[in-house]
Amino acid sequence: MKTLPLDLKRELSLVTWAIKKPRFVEEVNLLLQSNLRDRSVACVEAGERVLKGQKIADPVDAYSVAKHASVSGQVKAVATTTHPVFGPVACIKIVSDQNIETLPEYGCERNGLQHLTRRQCLSIFQEMGLTEHDLHAEPLHVKLSTGFPKSETLFINACEPEPYVTSGYSLMMSHPLEVLKGAEILRNISDAKKIRFFLDQNQLDAAEFLKSKIYFLNWKHVEVEVLEAKYPQGLDDLLPLEGYGQTHDAKKPLFKAATAFAVHEALVLQKPQTERVVTIGGECIVESQNVWAPMGVSFAEAIKFCRGLLREPRKVLMDGPMRGIAQKDLNASVYAGTQAILALPKEEVPLVEAEDCIRCGQCIESCPVDISPVMITLAAEKQLFDIARDAGAEQCIECGNCSFVCPSKRPMLELIRYADSQLQWQSLTPKPPLPRPRRKFRTLALKK
Ligand code: SF4
Ligand code: SF4
């Protein structure tokens, strides 16, 4: 695999793996759509009081999932907010009453758990609003519904290949048993025989901790594999999955550790998807930390959980500096795919003028999936999306290597995402595609 010799140091200001619980949340804007295909419709009205965990939106089709209040309070309106990836989407605005009053069954162990059938489990996942905890937020009942005939192993990706981001690491350190039990539920539903966890060398203590819990449970069918901490090795599409190789398109029994945790919460403790661990970090944050961020809380308010901004950031990213999505609007809402919110200063993201491609081929050399980033981006600039597809736009795993190595500082990843979203839009037509990226500047957001 082609990897970059980057010194991807961890967030130095992360002094503890404990996860902070915010005491006050003013308002949440709960997205009615977590990805391009997911749609739900409000089942509450403005003025109604809701409890944390209460269903507030029904799925409109078999693909979509229900949505739940992440705080107790009053529904203000069904309005529009910013999705950190897709832009404006419908949301339900709830003003918190600061009491965090939950539904009576929230957090209580479910009766008859061992008698649930596979179909009932999938139906619970849909009702509980469970999606994968990654950028695409695929509903879990959909991912699990067709099964994974090729593999006897279920894989859990707990790697965190990008700098700054430590939300998964904190979760593995603080809740290893819940993650293990969630993975076991997923294994049973998938009919797999074994579970294999992937962690990286930056998480050796978490790996040892996990192994001790596996020993304590005497679960001989669970293995832990520690990978070299080398970008982009920990990305889903590049993991060494037994029986799958590194095929991009195959449906794989691979889940994030945060998803396994959410499965345990939903199925065992009857907690819908109402919060997730988010790293609030970067040099502009007063106190970088991992926090339990309620779904729908704005990035601006999430930053306040960590005592706000030390100074004005040049760039705010959702997720890490290699693959993260720049946010113009800090009113964007946290959703299941938000692993991190990074506020980076001008020293970390200098403005650089993009120049024309000099045909050096470095982007092709650096691409771990052997596609042609230069062809895709040149085609995307000219709106020739069929050529972008032929050059492999849909196979891109969005690692950002090509952006990092390009000597002309071309906005490679933004252009590839633009082409991919246009191609998706052509096939689905549910929403307008992403806007075309600015041509003049790109910013570098990585420590060398
Ligand atoms: S084209 Fe995609 S997969 Fe290849 S280097 Fe660029 S971002 Fe990574
Ligand atoms: S790395 Fe940049 S300049 Fe070199 S071929 Fe690729 S796009 Fe062109």
Same domain, 228 and 192: yes
Cα 356 to middle of ligand 2, angstroms: 8
Domain-embedded: residue 379: yes
Q: Which of 311, 344, 377 is the last residue of a domain?
A: 344
Give me Rg for the CA atoms of the chain: 21
Same domain, 364 and 276: no
Domain-embedded: residue 10: no
Domain-embedded: residue 95: yes
Domain-embedded: residue 16: no
Measured distance CA(233)–CA(66) in Å, rounded = 34
Mind listing the pLDDT tens digit for each residue in 116-161? 999 999 999 999 999 999 888 999 999 998 777 667 899 999 998 7
Cα 370 to middle of ligand 2, angstroms: 15
Same domain, 338 and 356: no
Beta bridge partners of 45: none
The two three-digit tokens of residue 172, written as one number: 């593995």
DSSP-derived secondary structure letter, 252: -
Domain-embedded: residue 6: no
Measured distance CA(71)–CA(77) in Å, rounded = 15
CATH number at residue 119: 3.40.50.11540
- Answer whether 377 contacts ligand 1 (Cβ < 6 A): no
Same domain, 279 and 404: no
Measured distance CA(315)–CA(366) in Å, rounded = 25
Domain region containing 235? 113-267
Residue nearest to atom 7 of ligand 2 (CA): 374
Single-letter code of the amino acid located at 392: G
Same domain, 244 and 142: yes
Residue nearest to atom 3 of ligand 2 (CA): 357
Q: Tens-of-pLDDT digits for all 448 residues of the chain?
A: 455 544 444 454 455 678 999 888 999 999 999 887 899 999 999 999 999 999 999 999 999 999 999 999 999 999 999 999 888 999 999 999 987 899 999 999 999 888 999 999 999 999 999 999 988 899 999 999 877 766 789 999 999 878 889 999 999 999 999 999 999 999 999 989 999 999 998 889 999 999 999 999 999 999 999 998 888 888 888 888 877 765 555 678 999 999 999 999 999 999 999 999 999 999 999 999 999 999 999 999 999 999 999 999 999 999 998 888 999 889 999 999 999 999 999 988 878 888 999 999 999 999 988 899 999 999 999 999 999 999 999 889 989 999 999 999 999 998 999 898 888 777 764 444 555 555 444 443 433 3
- Answer whether 374 contacts ligand 1 (Cβ < 6 A): no
Atom of ligand 2 nearest to the CA of 405: 1
Domain-embedded: residue 393: yes
Report which bound ligand comes closest to the CA of 370.
Answer: 1
Domain-embedded: residue 437: yes
Same domain, 186 and 225: yes
Cα 363 to middle of ligand 2, angstroms: 6
Atom of ligand 2 nearest to the CA of 366: 1
Atom of ligand 1 nearest to the CA of 396: 2
Residue nearest to atom 8 of ligand 2 (CA): 357
Same domain, 239 and 120: yes
The two three-digit tokens of residue 145, written as one number: 């519904």
Which one, of 302, 270, 269, 338, lies nearest residue 54 by Cα? 270
Same domain, 235 and 260: yes
Single-letter code of the amino acid located at 299: F
- Answer whether 374 contacts ligand 2 (Cβ < 6 A): yes
Q: Whole-prediction pTM value? A: 0.88
Residue in this structure with the two tokens 């800090």, named with its chain if needed: 330
- Answer whether 266 contacts ligand 2 (Cβ < 6 A): no
In total, how many domains does the chain have? 3
Residue nearest to atom 2 of ligand 1 (CA): 396
Same domain, 129 and 216: yes
Measured distance CA(222)–CA(242) in Å, rounded = 14
Cα 350 to middle of ligand 2, angstroms: 20
Same domain, 101 and 209: no
- Answer whether 365 contacts ligand 2 (Cβ < 6 A): no
